[in-house]
């Protein structure tokens, strides 16, 4: 019987990202680091070439079985030494005695983690590009679809749905820029021994570090204690939290706009089979957007333990180890999960221009008060005087349940009926929204390359 406890094991996350942080992947990456170290030693003449070749041949789960590693760890209670012993057993001849030569545990652990984060960031980068492409198409499609702008939860002035999405797309573009800029700080290994001096590697310590980095295709930290600086992992979780916060913001907007009294967009819903409620059979809930919001909050919760994992005694202690077994994999898996879900929401989003127009009309023209005020200033009226006049007419129209257009036409404002009708055209007061959409989508096309 499976005794699964963590919802990531059975409910959330994609298999591709879970595979990056699985126990098997962790062991495989550690084997690759050990093999790279052995090859570096061989290139410098420290160990026989044939031993390094044997170690490299056996750097695979085909030969080093996770069950055997676990069995040894239960006995000796040290994960890295358990791997080294199982690895040594798998090697023919005396090659095994050269495994882990001069290294400390976190030379292997942190460098393997760097390889995992490299893979994870590549997937997250692709997720961001997929999401951004979908949002760009949505913004272009609704470049001129007029809708209510809202501030303080109240009707403001008209915008376009394309502009709303373009604002979000520009945020995604910045996240992609942040990820690419931070990658080399986040993905860094180490190979400097017990306290970061490289003494265990002898005179060739710096060369060994350089060769291992070349073998693995990653940067190696210049100065460390026993651990890679945890500011790097803080930056990863912070980046992920920042992205997740944007996704929660987008999803919250979808949830609000899907409310029946607004009804301007809606998540896709399979009316043939999908169930919205166990008791209210009419319900069509924005469950994916709600899921994104909930998981984003969990993800951000990893910021505190990850920051505290940077505060260690002297060159290291072990308080970070258990925490990071949660923070790093869960952060990556949850971020990948909600990025893919957000893209799906936008790709299948039902946009309702007729509802948007209906809500514009519900304002009875009051949202055009600013436009009228500015038209009056064009006629020579002072801005403050125009503001007060339109404020009074707006309050009167609202109190009487009348359209602002009618109140204006009955007033003595220096505007003809034809001018008032033109001003009341919602699409005439979206400013440069369309041009901004064009600018953002062009910048996205340049950034994603």
Q: Which residues are catalytic?
A: 152, 277
Q: Which residues pair with 151 in a beta bridge?
A: 154
Using an 8 Å Cβ cutoff, are 193 and 103 in contact? yes
Count of beta carbons in the 10 Å neighbourhood of residue 263: 15
Helix (H, G, I), strand (E, B) or coil at 45: coil
**What is the spatial distance between Cα 363 and Cα 355, in angstroms, rounded to a whole number?**
13
**What is the spatial distance between Cα 190 and Cα 107, in angstroms, rounded to a whole number?**
5
Using an 8 Å Cβ cutoff, are 225 and 310 in contact? no
Count of beta carbons in the 10 Å neighbourhood of residue 199: 12
Using an 8 Å Cβ cutoff, are 41 and 101 in contact? yes
In sequence order, what DSSP letters do the residues of 102-150 get, joined into one string? T--HHHHHHHHHHHHHHHHHHHHHHHHHHHHHHHHHHHHHTTT-EEEEE
Cα separation values, 318 from 322, 328, 375, Å: 8, 16, 69
Q: Tokens at residue 424, please?
A: 């009341």
Q: Tokens at residue 85, please?
A: 């012993």
Q: Tokens at residue 385, please?
A: 């005087």
Using an 8 Å Cβ cutoff, are 347 and 136 in contact? no
Cα separation values, 296 from 6, 15, 196, 338, 412, Å: 16, 19, 36, 8, 54
Look at residues 441, 442, 396 and name the one whose alpha carbon lies nearest to residue 139.
441
Using an 8 Å Cβ cutoff, are 218 and 250 in contact? no
Q: Tokens at residue 100, please?
A: 């882990």
**What is the spatial distance between Cα 442 and Cα 136, in angstroms, rounded to a whole number?**
9
Q: Tokens at residue 394, please?
A: 């707006």
Going by their DSSP bridges, the two strands 188-189 and 154-160 should be labelled as unpaired
Using an 8 Å Cβ cutoff, are 105 and 193 in contact? no
Handedness of CA 379, 380, 382, 388 (dihedral sign): negative
């Amino acid at each position: 019987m499976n005794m699964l406890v963590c919802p990531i094991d059975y409910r959330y996350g994609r298999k591709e990202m879970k595979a990056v942080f699985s126990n098997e992947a962790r062991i495989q990456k550690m084997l690759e680091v050990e093999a790279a170290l052995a090859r570096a030693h061989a290139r410098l003449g420290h160990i026989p070439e044939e031993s390094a070749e044997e170690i490299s041949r056996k750097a695979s789960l085909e030969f080093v079985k996770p069950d055997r590693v676990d069995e040894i760890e239960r006995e000796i209670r040290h994960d890295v030494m358990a791997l080294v012993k199982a690895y040594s057993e798998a090697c023919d001849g005396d090659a095994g005695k050269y495994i882990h030569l001069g290294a400390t545990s976190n030379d292997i652990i942190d460098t393997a983690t760097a390889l995992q984060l490299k893979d994870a960031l590549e997937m997250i980068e692709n997720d961001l590009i997929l999401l951004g492409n979908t949002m760009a198409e949505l913004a272009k499609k609704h470049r001129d679809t007029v809708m209510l702008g809202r501030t303080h939860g109240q009707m403001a002035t008209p915008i376009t749905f394309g502009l709303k999405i373009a604002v979000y797309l520009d945020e995604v573009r910045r996240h992609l820029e942040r990820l690419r800029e931070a990658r080399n700080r986040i993905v860094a290994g180490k190979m400097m021994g017990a306290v970061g001096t490289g003494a265990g590697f002898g005179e060739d310590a710096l060369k060994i570090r350089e060769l291992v980095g070349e073998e693995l295709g990653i940067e190696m930290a210049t100065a460390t204690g026993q651990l890679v600086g945890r500011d790097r992992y803080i930056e990863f979780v912070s980046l992920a939290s920042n992205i997740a916060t944007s996704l929660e913001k987008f999803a919250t907007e979808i949830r609000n706009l899907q409310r029946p009294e607004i009804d301007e967009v809606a998540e896709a819903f399979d009316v043939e089979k999908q169930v919205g409620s166990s008791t209210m059979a009419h319900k069509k809930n924005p469950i994916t957007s709600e899921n994104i919001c909930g998981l984003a909050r969990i993800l951000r919760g990893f910021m505190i333990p990850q920051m505290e994992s940077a505060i260690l005694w002297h060159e290291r202690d072990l308080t970070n180890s258990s925490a990071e077994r949660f923070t790093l994999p869960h952060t990556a898996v949850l971020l990948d999960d909600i990025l893919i879900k957000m893209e799906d929401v936008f790709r299948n989003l039902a946009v309702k221009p007729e509802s948007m127009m209906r809500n514009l009309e519900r304002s009875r023209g009051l949202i055009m008060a600013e436009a009228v005020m500015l038209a009056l200033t064009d006629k020579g009226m002072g801005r403050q005087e125009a503001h007060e006049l339109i404020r009074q007419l707006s309050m009167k129209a609202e109190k009487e349940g009348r359209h602002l257009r009618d109140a204006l036409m009955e007033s003595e404002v220096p505007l003809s009926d034809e001018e008032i009708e033109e001003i009341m055209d919602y699409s005439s007061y979206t400013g440069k929204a369309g041009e901004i959409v064009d600018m953002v989508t062009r910048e996205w096309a340049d950034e994603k390359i």
